[in-house]
């Protein structure tokens, strides 16, 4: 039998490696930014077009490379970061495998310009699909400029699997945030399609967080600092009242490298236990410094997961450090040993019994003893109202009053269900007004139908009603607005402002009125009818969360997403008590919808139970 095992060509091996290293444009951004940091750059510029599908360019003022190094950098397993296997346990750089540039060059058009500070001229290399097309000496600035064009040009299937520009830009922005937060002393600039998204100067860690996530973030931060022999913790956590439903602002950096760790994330959640509502997540931006010998970075292709030698100790230290910070800044309740003495019980009263307060009652008091100055005439008798010395005199003259027809007396009685039925006391024909709906556990509305009964989820039903209403307004563009007495100014991060700009026209069709949109804030002068001023920020936060997490790929519809998001924000919550009229109105509106069976998130809004099913239950 002939031999069947053979070595793969380099260009095929590079494409296979690219499948692990380069998953989308954001993967290229991460690798190029980290290479610029390893080159000791102090200023880094990121230029992106079409969310990275057309162009990703990183320009830095780092050390640069010679002509030989520039060519070798695109070979597999060629790196300047390590020399031997022992260096893997003393890593102080971002990259060390030597696969990034080789993988990128295998699936894109790459143009590299680099120059050493000591040289007068630099070098330029052009590569297409791992094949070097040209290398020449050119005039270039000190440092390196690398441009990656037409990503996945030779792998059409991979390119077709890329998401929409909105989704891909969000992933690119996330990677930019992670790198920029890990290195606040490096100046970063980020451009997309010619517009500047971020311009971050060299600054401290708190200023970097505020510049990335907006000015309103400053008031949310609680500093965390802990120094031990095992672990050094610095950074910030968000105050509990600003917790979000999404995990968008959660960052762990170990030795200036962004990582994902469910175990450490649980430690943070344990520190916030009892301070935030269920389903909400705290924000944190934590820098951890550990001995490189105690961690293993080389366990994941993207190096975002790290294996720790002693996770239990790190868990305990991290949890206690956050708890201490929350207590120190009066975020969480703590024992106060500096309480003022005037609020304490004096020692002289320590053993005294509590005495009941004395209540004096005048048992001889009679409000009718004094004669009123103006006596009224009794209507029924015509006699003067007597000056009653005692209460019996009040009934003088009632003997001659007209008799009351008892058949005309109407009384209100209550049924077992709590309904009021009004009728004659002695009448045989009783008129009853029965409720047609009932609310169960302040969550479900039960109503009777011909075949049995129907049980409606009030939250999902109201979401369906609001969703179709807002979708109708967006389609017909006939929404009405109510003007605010005072303009409402809201502050968001640059990335969030860009997302809002994408759906601004649809927001205006629902009734929002924008008077001014800046780089980090905007002003609202009108809101949809029925929306209060306090609900505006809730709606926009929910909308941003939906855009970041629930955007469909090619079928992205801003109007549909906006209608779903507003319906989710403004719908009746489970646990809210509804009157009989509100219940009946909700039921009638639900079954007037085009599709009352499911909510906007494709969940059932009601279930039915026939009489036969009920009878089977009693067998």
302-313: pLDDT as tens digits: 667 777 778 888
1 lies in some domain: no
Q: Are residues 563 and 529 in the same domain?
A: yes
Rounded CA separation 97/453 (Å): 66
The percentage of the chain sitting over the pLDDT mark of 70, rounded to a whole number, equals 77
Q: Are residues 31 and 170 in the same domain?
A: yes
Exposure letters 256-278 (e unless 16+ CB within 10 A, then b):
ebbbebeebbebbeebbeebbee
Rounded CA separation 8/13 (Å): 6
Q: Are residues 228 and 150 in the same domain?
A: no
Residues 114 and 64: beta-carbon distance below 8 Å: yes
Mean pLDDT of 155-182: 87
422 lies in some domain: no
Question: What per-residue confidence (pLDDT) applies to 508?
Answer: 84
Question: What per-residue confidence (pLDDT) applies to 555?
Answer: 43
Q: Who has greater pLDDT, 552 or 489?
A: 489
Mean pLDDT of 51-65: 92
Query: Sign (positive/negative) of CA torsion 160, 165, 171, 176?
Result: positive
Mean pLDDT of 557-578: 81
For 20, 69, 104, 106, 129, the CA distances from 10, given in Å and listed in that order, are: 16, 19, 13, 9, 11
Question: What per-residue confidence (pLDDT) applies to 540?
Answer: 82
Question: What per-residue confidence (pLDDT) applies to 115?
Answer: 92
Q: Who has greater pLDDT, 565 or 321?
A: 321
Predicted confidence (pLDDT) per residue in 360-393, tens digit: 787 888 777 765 555 444 444 444 544 545 556 5
Question: What per-residue confidence (pLDDT) applies to 113?
Answer: 93
pLDDT > 90? residue 180: yes
Q: What total of structural domains would you count in the chain? A: 3
Among 282, 307, 328, identify where a domain stops. Answer: 328
Q: Are residues 217 and 196 in the same domain?
A: no
Rounded CA separation 565/584 (Å): 25
pLDDT > 60? residue 84: no
Q: Are residues 161 and 233 in the same domain?
A: no
* CATH code of the domain containing 563: 3.30.1370.100
Least confident of 77-81, 289-293, 412-416: 412-416
Question: What per-residue confidence (pLDDT) applies to 248?
Answer: 79
Q: Are residues 185 and 52 in the same domain?
A: yes
Q: Are residues 164 and 253 in the same domain?
A: no
23 lies in some domain: yes
Predicted confidence (pLDDT) per residue in 62-75, tens digit: 988 888 888 888 88
Among 200, 234, 268, identify where a domain stops. Answer: 200
DSSP state, residue 62: S
Distance of alpha carbon 406 from the chain centroid: 66
* CATH code of the domain containing 229: 3.30.230.10
Mean pLDDT of 585-590: 89
Question: What per-residue confidence (pLDDT) applies to 361?
Answer: 80
Q: Who has greater pLDDT, 535 or 428?
A: 535
**Range with the largest mean pLDDT of 83-97, 180-194, 364-378:** 180-194
Question: What per-residue confidence (pLDDT) applies to 20?
Answer: 61
Mean pLDDT of 39-47: 93
Question: What per-residue confidence (pLDDT) applies to 572?
Answer: 87
For 33, 70, 136, the CA distances from 126, given in Å and listed in that order, are: 20, 11, 9
Q: Are residues 254 and 107 in the same domain?
A: no
Q: Are residues 217 and 195 in the same domain?
A: no
- The pair of structure tokens assigned to 325 is 């910070």
DSSP alpha helix (H) spans, 260-405: 262-271, 311-328
Question: What per-residue confidence (pLDDT) applies to 33?
Answer: 93
Q: Which helix (H) or strand (E) holds 132?
A: strand 131-138
418 confidence band (pLDDT: 50, 70, 90) = very low
365 lies in some domain: no
Rounded CA separation 111/262 (Å): 39
Least confident of 123-127, 348-352, 486-490: 348-352
Least confident of 399-408, 484-493, 577-586: 399-408
Which range of residues forms the domain containing residue 308?
213-328
Rounded CA separation 544/502 (Å): 11
Among 175, 200, 225, identify where a domain stops. Answer: 200
């Amino acid at each position: 039998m002939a031999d069947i095992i053979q070595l793969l060509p380099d260009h095929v091996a590079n494409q296979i490696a690219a499948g692990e290293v380069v998953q989308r444009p954001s993967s290229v951004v991460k690798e190029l930014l980290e290479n610029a940091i390893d080159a000791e750059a102090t200023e880094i510029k990121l230029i992106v077009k079409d969310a990275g599908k057309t162009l990703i360019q990183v320009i830095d003022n780092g050390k640069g490379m010679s002509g030989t190094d520039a060519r070798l950098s695109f070979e597999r397993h060629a790196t300047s970061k390590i020399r031997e296997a022992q260096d893997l346990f003393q890593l102080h750089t971002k990259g060390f495998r030597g696969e990034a540039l080789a993988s990128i060059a295998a699936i894109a058009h790459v143009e590299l310009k680099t120059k050493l500070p000591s040289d007068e001229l630099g070098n330029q290399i052009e590569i297409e699909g791992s094949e070097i097309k040209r290398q020449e000496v050119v005039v270039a600035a000190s440092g390196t400029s690398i441009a990656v064009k037409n990503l996945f040009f030779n792998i059409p299937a991979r390119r077709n699997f890329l998401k929409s520009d909105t989704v891909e830009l969000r992933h690119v922005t996330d990677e930019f945030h992670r790198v920029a937060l890990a290195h606040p002393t490096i100046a970063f600039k980020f451009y997309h399609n010619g517009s500047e998204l971020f311009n971050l100067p060299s600054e401290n860690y708190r200023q970097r967080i505020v510049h990335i996530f907006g000015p309103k973030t400053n008031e949310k931060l609680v500093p965390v600092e802990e120094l031990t022999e095992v672990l050094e913790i610095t950074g910030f956590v968000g105050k509990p009242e600003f917790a979000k439903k999404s995990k968008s602002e959660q960052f762990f950096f170990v030795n200036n490298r962004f990582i994902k760790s469910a175990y450490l994330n649980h430690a943070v959640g344990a520190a916030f236990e009892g301070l935030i509502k269920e389903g909400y997540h705290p924000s944190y931006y934590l820098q951890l410094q550990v001995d490189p010998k105690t961690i293993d970075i080389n366990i994941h292709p993207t190096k975002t997961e790290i294996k720790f030698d002693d996770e239990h100790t790190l868990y305990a230290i991290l949890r206690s450090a956050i708890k201490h910070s929350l207590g120190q800044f009066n975020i969480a309740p703590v024992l106060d040993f500096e309480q003022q003495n005037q609020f304490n019980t004096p020692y002289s009263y320590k053993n005294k019994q509590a005495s009941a307060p004395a209540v004096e009652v005048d048992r001889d008091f009679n409000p009718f003893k004094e004669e009123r100055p103006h006596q009224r005439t009794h209507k029924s008798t015509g006699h003067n109202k007597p000056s009653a010395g005692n209460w019996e005199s009040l009934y003088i003259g009632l003997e001659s009053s007209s008799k009351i027809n008892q058949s005309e007396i109407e009384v209100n009685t209550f049924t077992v269900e709590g309904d009021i039925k009004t009728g004659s006391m002695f009448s045989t024909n009783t008129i009853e007004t029965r409720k047609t709906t009932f609310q169960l556990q302040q969550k479900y509305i039960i109503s009777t139908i011909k075949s049995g009964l129907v049980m409606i989820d009030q939250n999902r039903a109201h979401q369906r009603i609001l969703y179709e209403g807002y979708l109708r307004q967006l389609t017909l563009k006939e929404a009405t607005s109510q003007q605010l007495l005072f303009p409402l100014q809201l502050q968001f991060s640059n990335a969030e402002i860009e997302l809002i700009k994408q759906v601004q026209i649809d927001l205006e069709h629902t009734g929002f009125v924008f008077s001014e949109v800046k780089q980090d804030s905007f002003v609202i002068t009108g809101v949809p009818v029925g929306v209060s001023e306090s609900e505006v920020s809730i709606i926009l936060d929910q909308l941003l969360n939906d855009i970041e997490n629930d955007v469909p790929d090619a079928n992205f519809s801003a109007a549909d997403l906006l209608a779903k998001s507003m319906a989710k924000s403004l719908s009746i919550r489970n646990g809210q008590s509804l009157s009989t009229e509100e219940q009946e109105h909700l039921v009638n509106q639900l079954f007037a919808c085009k599709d009352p069976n499911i909510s906007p998130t494709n969940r059932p809004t009601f279930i039915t139970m026939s009489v036969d099913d009920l009878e089977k239950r009693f067998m």
